[in-house]
Structures are given as structure tokens and as C-alpha cells.
Homo-oligomer: A and B are copies of this chain.
Amino acid sequence: MEQVIIGVDIGGTNTVIGIFGLHLSLIEKFFKQSSELSIKNPDRFIQSLALEINRLVGRKTIICVGVAVPGKVNGERGIVELATNLGWENVALATDLSEILKVPVKIEHDVRSYTVGEAMKGAGIGYNNIVCLTIGTGMAVGSIVNGQLIAGSDYLAGELGHDTVQGHTQACACGKVGCLETIVSAPGIARLAAEAVSSNKKTLLQEVNGEITAFDVYEAGLKGDEAAKEIFKFVGTTLGRKLATVVYLLNPEIIIIGGGVAAAGDMLLDPIRKTLEVECPYYISDLKIKIGELGDMAGLIGAAHLAQVKEG
């Protein structure tokens, strides 16, 4: 009977289930709307997820399951301590899912899973000291130091999106003002674009119907729109200054940028690199700065990998 490893990436909108072979080669992946799995009710969600996994794998044998969760995850105890976007608190996800599926289940923070995915199969292959960012609705960091994934003393390591940028006063959903992710995120970029438009800047963004998205800014930038390029320059420079502190602290070999906003490619990478050249002259020659290679798949692959890892 064919043996498979399951990776799951839970999101507020979609939950992705991946079926992997034993060497983490993807056999198939499936998208489910999270609402269809009753995401707001953790007990029902776990049952629906288990059903769905069993249905998808059919007669194959599951070896283990890894789940990436957008929240504060105690990976050792297998508990989602808090997932604000899902409305979860102290959900024993690993134990409960394991009881139904009768196989070992590991869970991890989504950005840390993403980081492990890029480290194992993506831009981070061969590196032991990796800083991986995801920039999308929010912004966070996963770090691998000496080959070891960092969770912090209370599973809060990497929430750099809520570190303040001095001199900025945009309100953040977290209750603070000027958090990095009020600038470095898809909504941040959209807001900066809306501000450019309402200040009557001459820009292609004036022609966008309806609400401007980060993708509109990216497209305008590709067409050479100065205002759009200026926005990415500001976002990249702001991020680069914060990353300078990360570089001084951890001296990583590679910084990997993932998440939806990473699609901007060099428009985002160039100002980050230029900023780090100025800020970290003694580090920059040995530092790689790259866009992630796995896109949406990174979290799934990372979760599946973590499921396999034996406890140290």
C-alpha cells in the first residue's frame, strides 16, 4: 500500500491539503474553503479536516500529518494557544486530529512552516542560517539558526510585523501605531497607493477602478509608473532598515522574501539590497537576498517536513 505524508496549511480563507510521497514529493494538493470546514468552530473543523484528509488519501496509508497554523502555536504540546484570525484559543489541534486519524500529528506556526519549506526544498537549500519573511496581509519572520528553527521562549519569535517604525503613526490592528506591517504588507502598499492618488500625484493608479490593491501598484510599476515604483522603494527601504538590525544580530547567510507581495520581485528586492549595502557594509558581500521559490507551497512542504522530524 502506498505510504504518504500529509501537509496542511490552514488559512482564514482557504485550507490547503497536500499529499506527499516519503521524500516530500507532492502527489496532489487540494484547496478547501476554510468556512466549508467550519473554521470558526475548532472541534467541527478538526473533524471536517480529518474526514477530508481520509477521503482524499483513499486507500493510501498516512504515515504522519503536519499542520501549519496562522497563530501562536506551542509545537511541543501540539496546542494552538491563540489564533486571533480564526477565533481559536487553546485548541489541542495535534492531539485531537491525531486521535481521529490514528497517526502522529505535528503543528507549527505558518511562517515557521513556510521557512522550513523554503529551507528544505526552496531558496534556502544548503544554508544553515536563514531569515525568511512572508509579506502578505501581514508580515512576519521565520529564522533558522545553526540549522535550528527558532520559536522563542513563548512561541512569539518572528512577529517583526509589529515592531514599530519610528516616526510612523498609522494605526495597526494590534492596537499599536506605526507597526512595520502597516507599511510592509499588501494592505500597507494599497494604503500608500490610495494616499498617492488622493494627493493628486500624476500616476497610472489614478485610473484604477474601485479600491487599489498591492497588485495594481505592482502592475503600474511594471509599466514604469514613477509613483508606483516610489511606493515599492519606500516599502523596501523601510523593510531594509529593519532587516539591518536582523543582519547585525543573527548574521544570516540568506534572507528569503516570500508571501504574496514577493511577486513584486526586484521592485522590492532592489531597495532592500541598496539599504543593506549602506547599513551593513561588512555583511553584505556574503549575504544572499532572494525571493522564495515555492510560493504557496512553502508552508505545506514545511509542515509535511516537520511532521517527519523525530524529536531531539
Contact = CB atoms under 8 A, between A and B. Distances in A.
Interface of A: 127-129, 141, 143, 145-146, 148, 150-160, 162-164, 166-167, 174-176, 241-242, 244-246, 248-253, 279, 281-283, 286
24 contacts: A128-B153, A145-B148, A145-B150, A150-B250, A151-B251, A152-B251, A153-B251, A153-B286, A156-B251, A157-B249, A158-B248, A158-B251, A159-B282, A160-B248, A160-B249, A163-B244, A163-B248, A163-B279, A164-B241, A166-B166, A175-B281, A245-B245, A245-B246, A249-B249
Contacts of A248: 158-160, 162-163
Nearest to A164: B279
Nearest to A151: B251
Contacts of A151: 251
A156 to B, nearest CB: 4
A283 B156 contact: yes
A222 B99 CA distance: 62
Contacts of A252: 152-153
B244 A246 contact: no
Contacts of A244: 163-164
Contacts of A242: 245
B176 A241 contact: no
Contact of A152 (B129, B153, B157, B162): B129
Given A153-B286, A251-B157, A176 B245 contact: no
A264 to B, nearest CB: 23
Contacts of A157: 249-251
Given A153-B253, A166-B167, 9 more contacts: A143-B249, A148-B148, A152-B250, A154-B251, A163-B279, A166-B166, A166-B241, A245-B245, A246-B249
Given A145-B148, A166-B241, A281-B175, A154 B286 contact: yes
A40 to B, nearest CB: 23
A162 B282 CA distance: 10
Contacts of A160: 245, 248-249
Contacts of A152: 129, 250-252
A171 to B, nearest CB: 15
